[in-house]
A and B are shown apart, each in its own frame.
Chain A
Amino acid sequence: MNIPAGHVMIVAAVLLATGLFGVIVRRNIVLVLMSLEIMLNAAALAFVAGGSARGADGQVMFLLILTLAAAEVSVGLALVLQLYRRFKTLDVSAAASMKG
């Protein structure tokens, strides 16, 4: 059975919206990072869908995104550790002192 690339793009768009929603409503920093991962993977899926229709370039982009998402999340987890050490919580609203 052949799935049209356009349908995959729709799934990717839904995933992106899911991730964005998670980033906005979640208060736990680990879940925020997971939502960020979902958004990045949505973009990666869209590149794979594009690649299946337009040639191998999209798959190469997928590999790049995979690597860089890992780099981003490792720095993110280091910051999660710092947040926990300083505030003894994973709730991002604890770190909201700056205003104005």
Chain B
Amino acid sequence: MMTRDLLALGPMLITAGGAVVLLLALAVCRSHAFASAWSVLVLAAALAAIPMTWPGAPASGDLLNLLAIDSWALAFWGIIFGSALVVCLLGFEYFRPLAVQAEEFYVLVLLSATGAAVLAAADHFATVFLGLELLSVSLFALAAYRRDQAISIEAGIKYLVLAGTSSALLLFGLALLYFHTASLRLSGLAGPLLAGHPDTIALYAGIALVLVAMGFKLGLAPMHVWTPDVYQGSPAPVSALVGSVSKAGAMAFMVRLAGVTLTGTPGVRNGVFYGLLVLAIASMFTGNLLALRQPNIKRLLAYSSIAHMGYCLLAVLPMAAGAALDRQAVFYYMLAHAVSILGAFGCVCAASENGREAQHVEDYRGLAWRRPVLAGVFSLMLLSLAGIPLTAGFLGKFYVLASGVRNALWLPAVCLVINSGIGLFYYLRVLGTLYQREEAESPDQFATSTAPSALLQPSPQLLLTHLTLAALVVLLIYFGLMPALASLPM
């Protein structure tokens, strides 16, 4: 271990160390404000350490065997730590009025961000497994964090059983690959696949199991069934975390995997290519069609994120070694998706009162007349998810589509265009609800405290949430107008 190794690992060491220090500090004194301030500080320090590591400081052999800390990994660490920072900010005012002890939430967020960061840089089967498990185990606990609610426990159990199954399948796949290639390195896969290994079927079976596990983490159809339940049952900041941090880490690894398993020659396609193609098209259609008539806003966002991961796979398909433009497209898409989904769940947090989440689309009817600014922010996030120009979502979709067209992937490109049309329908449906005037309510409806009008009164206690949303709007417009980050060398 040398100094430059420590420097290269810097951001990850900061979050891992920050989580341990926080856990020890909580044993001495429990304070919600301290826990959230500390985790925000730790994540900000990790973000600040990324540019210092940036040139991709060539690490020594020990580190290179396990992790590839290149510009690709560092760019995704930016998304991961930034999203975790936003989740901590949203979590503070979400958990403050609740009766649950909120301090461990921040420890788990730091740990899951560390896990996603390990996964994004993983180049060895051991780190793939460690990163994925660190992420998953933190997410079980986070999904079930609101013990006062039955659906939160249900979400935790569903995620536990399905994520446990998928990580067992991943491990068996890795074991098959190890058995047949005698290498635990991810990059050790490329040679045997190209050279026509005698046990090609076993190799493909191993890769298929790994793809199933990563497809599960990304929520790709047909491994998507957990997504809506976990998004709905988890506390809103945790749903935001699942949608941004966990997806960014898994997508970064998916691109590395595709880079070594797809063939580099244009026009030559192997089984992995067709597998990814089927996953992409199935996810686009499944996500969008199931979202069409969905009355629950959190489930709707879950289905929309299934479709979004399908779109993003379009830029993963041509991912042979050295395709820098396609890598930039994937990175920009994940960045735009993280900003939009964090913003959308941030609006759900802001619209929730006294521990009851505003989950139903009907809860948002006429929001624009009661809280015009929040409704404006929510509309902007939905427009970005739909891919309307001037938002980051549009540029992300544009780059992905450009990548598909450049590589002559006509079938998935056409599917993306069709699905963008279908997607527009349900985003506009929610958008329309926001701006509808409330009909005159019957008196008995007025009396109940759970009536939407009582639920969505502006509240002075949500200052931090509103500031976070304002920052996300600035980022959304900035990335939508100036795609400077898309030209990072990758």
Interface residue from A5, A29, A39 paired with B168 (Cβ < 8 Å): A39
CB distance from A46 to the nearest CB of B (A): 3
In the bound complex, how far is the Cα of B141 from the Cα of A95, in angstroms? 16
CB distance from A29 to the nearest CB of B (A): 7
- CB–CB B175/A12 < 8 A: yes
Point out the residues of chain A lying under 8 angstroms from B141, CB to CB.
75, 78
- CB–CB B129/A36 < 8 A: no
Chain A residue nearest in CB terms to B299: A100
Interface residue from A36, A40, A44, A82 paired with B161 (Cβ < 8 Å): A36
Given A23-B165, A82-B147 in contact, is the A12-B126 Cβ separation under 8 Å? no
Point out the residues of chain B lying under 8 angstroms from A58, CB to CB.
175, 178
- CB–CB A19/B133 < 8 A: no
Q: Does B259 contact A (CB under 8 A)?
A: no
Interface residue from B137, B154, B161, B178 paired with A23 (Cβ < 8 Å): B161
CB distance from B212 to the nearest CB of A (A): 12
In the bound complex, how far is the Cα of B280 from the Cα of A84, in angstroms? 39
In the bound complex, how far is the Cα of B184 from the Cα of A40, in angstroms? 18
- CB–CB A65/B140 < 8 A: no
In the bound complex, how far is the Cα of B287 from the Cα of A13, in angstroms? 32
In the bound complex, how far is the Cα of B139 from the Cα of A71, in angstroms? 13
Point out the residues of chain A lying under 8 angstroms from B175, CB to CB.
12, 43, 46-47, 49-50, 58, 61
- CB–CB A64/B137 < 8 A: no
Chain A residue nearest in CB terms to B178: A50
Interface string of A43-56 (1 = CB under 8 A from B): 11011011001110
CB distance from B119 to the nearest CB of A (A): 14
Given A46-B172, A71-B133 in contact, is the A57-B154 Cβ separation under 8 Å? no
CB distance from A27 to the nearest CB of B (A): 12
Point out the residues of chain A lying under 8 angstroms from B174, CB to CB.
43, 47, 61
Q: Does B232 contact A (CB under 8 A)?
A: yes
In the bound complex, how far is the Cα of B175 from the Cα of A68, in angstroms? 16
> Chain B interface: which size bin?
35 or more
Q: Does B14 contact A (CB under 8 A)?
A: no
Cβ < 8 Å to A, chain B residues 148-177: 150-151, 153-158, 160-161, 164-165, 167-169, 171-172, 174-176
Most chain B CB neighbours (cut-off 10 Å) among A29, A53, A65: A65
Point out the residues of chain B lying under 8 angstroms from A87, CB to CB.
150
> Chain A interface: which size bin?
35 or more
- CB–CB A100/B161 < 8 A: no
Interface string of B276-296 (1 = CB under 8 A from A): 000000000000000000111
Chain B residue nearest in CB terms to A53: B179
Given A32-B161, A58-B178 in contact, is the A100-B294 Cβ separation under 8 Å? yes
Point out the residues of chain A lying under 8 angstroms from B130, CB to CB.
64, 68
In the bound complex, how far is the Cα of B149 from the Cα of A97, in angstroms? 12
Q: Does B123 contact A (CB under 8 A)?
A: no
Cβ < 8 Å to A, chain B residues 227-285: 228-229, 232-233
- CB–CB A79/B179 < 8 A: no
CB distance from B156 to the nearest CB of A (A): 5
In the bound complex, how far is the Cα of B176 from the Cα of A68, in angstroms? 19
- CB–CB A98/B144 < 8 A: no
- CB–CB A68/B129 < 8 A: yes
Interface string of B117-142 (1 = CB under 8 A from A): 00000000110011001001100110
CB distance from B393 to the nearest CB of A (A): 25
- CB–CB A82/B153 < 8 A: yes
- CB–CB A76/B140 < 8 A: yes
Q: Does B417 contact A (CB under 8 A)?
A: no
Chain B residue nearest in CB terms to A100: B299
Q: Does B428 contact A (CB under 8 A)?
A: no
Instruction: Give B contacts to A, CB under 8 Å.
Output: 125-126, 129-130, 133, 136-137, 140-141, 144, 147, 150-151, 153-158, 160-161, 164-165, 167-169, 171-172, 174-176, 178-179, 182, 184, 228-229, 232-233, 294-296, 299
Instruction: Give A contacts to B, CB under 8 Å.
Output: 5, 9, 12-13, 16, 19-20, 23, 29, 32-33, 36, 39-40, 42-44, 46-47, 49-50, 53-55, 57-58, 60-61, 64-65, 68, 71-72, 75-76, 78-79, 82-83, 86-87, 92, 95-98, 100
Instruction: List 27 interface pairs A-B (beta carbons < 8 Å), by A numbering.
Output: A12-B175, A13-B172, A16-B169, A19-B168, A23-B161, A36-B165, A39-B164, A40-B171, A42-B168, A43-B171, A43-B172, A43-B174, A47-B171, A50-B179, A53-B179, A54-B179, A54-B182, A57-B178, A68-B130, A68-B137, A76-B160, A82-B156, A97-B154, A98-B154, A98-B155, A98-B229, A100-B296
Would you list the 8 A-B pairs with minimal beta carbon distance, nearest first? A43-B171, A46-B175, A39-B168, A95-B154, A50-B179, A54-B182, A36-B164, A43-B172
